[in-house]
Structure 1
Amino acid sequence: MTSPEMTVGYLIDLLSGCDRSAPVRLAMNPFFPMAHRLAQVVQPVDETGRTVVYLAEGPAEKAQLGHLPPEVAVALTWQGPVHAPPRRPRRSAGGK
């Protein structure tokens, strides 16, 4: 992608390899990653006369689905992989 903004053509290229029956979700807010339902696509003209495509979430009560799955946040590089801390050996009943 050479433009600083993703284009519709590039998005179509990315989506062309996806399952056409899969639901579409919007990943938002890298500091508190949440998943949202996508409900609308609108194409207004901006102040420069250029058409811009907006993807919008659904009605407020149904839009936010909850926390983004950790593997998605890792794939988006919003979070690093989280590993459990190493286990310490257990002490015996005698305290040694």
Structure 2
Amino acid sequence: MTVGDIIDALSVFDRDTPARLAINPFFPMAHRLGGVEESVDEHGRPMVYIAESPEAEQFGPLPPAVAVALAWQGPVDAPPRRRRGVTRPNDGH
């Protein structure tokens, strides 16, 4: 993914919408963004890094719909509910 890809993807959203960083597909969590820095890779090519907040603020589990959209997990349906029996007084029997 390039900077242009990110700009294109984000351009459809309201500029005032908060952005979060989704990390760890095996335990998906949402984190606050902290900054953007430019550097070079091991071959001297320019790179851009999007960093987590210096406070390392974690907002908790990623919403399941986001994890599904990222293909980090499959859609999960609630387990089927079985009919519960009726509880009646024993009347001493």
Q: Superposition pairs for residues 1-96 of structure 1, below 5 Å?
A: 6-60=1-55, 62-93=56-87
Segment drifting more, 23-32 vs 69-78: 69-78
Higher normalized strand content (fraction of residues):
2
CA distance in 2: counterparts of 1:66 and 1:81, whole angstroms = 19
CA distance in 2: counterparts of 1:40 and 1:17, whole angstroms = 21
Name stretches of at least 5 consecutive residues in structure 1 with no aligned partner. Answer: 1-5
Give the structure-2-normalised TM-score: 0.84
Deviations 1:29-57 (A, max 9, x none): 00000001111100012221211000000
RMSD in angstroms over aligned alpha carbons?
1.5
Larger Rg: 2
Aligned length: 88
User: What letter is aligned with 1:82?
Assistant: V
